[in-house]
Chains A and B, each alone.
Chain A
Amino acid sequence: MSISKRLRQYDIPQQIVLGIFAFLTLFPFFFMVMSSFKTNEQFFKQFWTPALPLHPENYTRVFPRVAMFIGNSLLYSIPTLILVSILAMLTGYGFARFRFRGRETLFLLMLSLMMLPAILTLIPLFIQMRDWGWLNTPHGVILPWTSLQIVFATYIMRVFFEKLPKEVFEAARLDGANEWQLFMRIAVPLALPGLGTIAVLDLLFTWNDVLWPLVALLDRDRFPIASGLLAFRGDFQTDYGPLFAGYTLASLPLIIFFVFMIRRFISGLGGMV
């Protein structure tokens, strides 16, 4: 077999270009992890290559602060995820299973919220939170986050429930189950695996949102990870090892989560089409 034929068989030209893309895409983060094990001296002396000895104490130095932010994030993200899942199942089921007056109008009204930039309601919401005394509280973050996330989640659940065969429900209904029992005994168990996409989108959002916590939480020690890192950067300006160690630590929880979810992640986000 000639070389050019073999090159084409394994798509070598394409793979080389993709390799360059992957290198450019990943290098900044490789650099981040590499530098997180260096002292400043090593950092300047061996800029491009890993340096020995490694300095894992950079991590122990920043751990308490970053762990606090991660803990805060979990404190806001998990309740948000649970609330979004429950509300999206209820609402998606309501839209999918019943025919009622105003169904499509209400659904469109809900979807139209996706055009509403969160920053437009930043100030009215902030004032509302102030008046209700919700500033600087966990629910002052959780409920607004939930209200932003349920729209698309409901859409996903509606599509999901509409695909279920109607016979499943008819059989149980003949056994005398009421609508609530149908929902709890049949719809919810069937929907649980379908929640993966919602979990992916929801965690990406809550792990990334900087602005609302910055406004709604007055106390830095309550910041979730994204807003927290802004404050954290200020403390380690040019202390590159600990600085990058902090960034790396902050990235770990999502990475660990998505390693287990990578196929669902791709199909979930791709499924937005």
Chain B
Amino acid sequence: MTNQHQSASGARWDWLTPYLFLAPAFLLLIALRYLPAVQAVYYSFTEWKGFFGSPEFVGFSNYSKLFHDQIFLASLRNMVVYTVVRTLLVLGMTFFAAELIYSLRNPTMQFIWQVLLIIPMIIPEIVVFLVWGFVFNTQTGILNTLLTAIGLGSWAQPWLSQSSTALWAITFIGFPFVASIPFLIFTSSLQGMPGEVLEAAKLDGCNTLRRVLHIDLPLMRGPITLAVILLILEGIRVLLPQLVLTGGGPGSSTESPANYLYRTAFQYGDFGLATAVGMIMLLVGLVFSYLSLRIRYQEATDVDI
């Protein structure tokens, strides 16, 4: 009797229990993520100069200013080139490397190569960029010294400090790109492929190239889509090469939206304009992720994991 009574009085507040478990995290998220996001929408429609100024509503003026700003437009072009080229390069190289590892018959060797190839992932990103900055260094860099040493000194270039090569140089940072999340995605999903399908293919006399093209690729549509989305988002948000190496220059040849945002806000103190850049980055990211997912699910009517 007493027991029943207790649980009944407890039951009045039982519905609250799950919310209590969620409350701390959501309070933090509301204060530091949702609220600032909503503020960002508003700030992007305001004129707001400087640390001590205050926002003043100006409608779409920031957005129209941006689309007439040659530097911002250049940053969008650079972003597209960087993202497209890098996404293709990284996908190709990491998929190739993952297939190579998958083709090894000895599991221990598979593991050893996998570990060797991802070591740079546990080196701080900033060090990776600083060291690659040295690879491209004009006077003492690894690349130019190598070219001179093998008699191709005339090919040596100030890679990062001339506008014709700078964007390409930062695109190739991390070559051959295997120390990356796409590589881990591919190796782990190749290892998880259904054995029967591969056995059947082998019995049918399917050679490696045909297996890769007709079995692995369709089976890995999901992981590939994930890798594409991650790479596109990374490309849209790219900042470190600019922050660490080029500052967006020479001229605006390597400018990226993120770096433009940072400079607009913290060098020129134009918070309204900078936030509008952030909004554009958000929208571009959403559109591309949506498109990749749509393509993935439209084509995936036949095979699926």
Interface status of A79 (Cβ within 8 A of chain B): no
What 1/0 mask marks residues of chain B from 20 to 31 whose CB sits below 8 Å from any chain A CB?
Answer: 111011101101
**Which residues of B158-216 are within 8 A (CB) of A?**
175-176, 178-179, 181, 184-185, 187-189
| A165 is an interface residue with CB less than 8 A from chain B | no
Number of interface residues of B (CB under 8 A): 90
Shortest C-beta distance, B278 to chain A (Å), equals 4
User: Which residues of A lie under 8 Å from residue B89 when comparing CB positions?
Assistant: none
Let me know if A147 is at the binding interface, CB within 8 A. yes
In the complex the two chains form, what is the Cα distance from A146 to B286 in whole Å? 24
- Given contacts A28-B131, A29-B123, is CB(A121)–CB(B37) below 8 Å? yes
- Tell me whether B11 is interfacial, beta carbon within 8 Å: no
What's the minimum C-beta distance from A253 to chain B, rounded to whole angstroms?
9
Number of interface residues of A (CB under 8 A): 87
Chain A's closest residue to B97 (CB) is A21
Q: In the complex, what residue of chain A is closest to B274 when comparing beta carbons?
A: A123
Instruction: Tell me whether A211 and B243 are in contact in the complex, defined as CB-CB below 8 angstroms, given that A100-B18, A122-B265, A266-B115 are known contacts.
Output: yes
Interface centre among B21, B26, B51, B104 (most CB of A within 10 A): B21
Whether the Cβ atoms of B281 and A269 lie closer than 8 Å is no
Q: Does B15 contact A (CB under 8 A)?
A: yes
Contact B278 A117 (CB under 8 A): yes
Residues of A within 8 A of B244 (CB): 210, 230
The smallest beta-carbon distance between B193 and chain A, in angstroms, is 12
Partner of A24, one of B19, B31, B40, B175: B175
> A247 is contacted by which of B20, B127, B240 (Cβ under 8 Å)?
B127
A82 touches B (CB below 8 Å) = no
Answer whether A87 and B124 are a contact pair too, CB < 8 Å, given A18-B100, A267-B188. no
Which residues on A sit within 8 Å (CB–CB) of B43? 123-124
Question: Cβ of B19: which chain A residues have Cβ within 8 Å of it?
Answer: 94, 100
Inter-subunit contact A230/B126 (CB<8 Å) = yes
In chain A, positions 87-105 with a C-beta closer than 8 Å to chain B are: 87-88, 90-91, 93-95, 97-98, 100-101, 103
Any chain A CB within 8 A of the CB of B117? yes
Is residue A239 contacting chain B, with contact meaning CB distance below 8 A? no
Q: Is the CB of A115 within 8 A of B286?
A: yes
Known A14-B100, A117-B281; contact A229-B127, beta-carbon cutoff 8 A: yes
Docked CA distance A207–B127 (Å): 11
Interchain CA distance A85-B167 in the complex, whole Å: 39
Asked if B279 lies at the interface with its beta carbon under 8 angstroms from chain A, I say yes
Would you call B78 an interface residue if the criterion is a C-beta within 8 Å of the partner chain's C-beta atoms?
no
Contact with A along B210-229 (1 / 0, CB 8 A): 00000000000011001000
Inter-chain CA distance A233–B140, complex, in Å, is 16
CA–CA, A56 and B131, complex, Å: 20
A48→B149 CA distance, assembly (Å): 10
- A110 contacts across to B, CB distance below 8 A: 25-26, 29
Nearest Cβ distance between residue B57 and chain A, in whole angstroms? Answer: 16
Taken residue by residue from 131 to 152, chain B's Cβ proximity to chain A (1 for < 8 Å, 0 otherwise) reads as 1101100001010010001000
CA distance A93 to B117 in the complex (A): 36
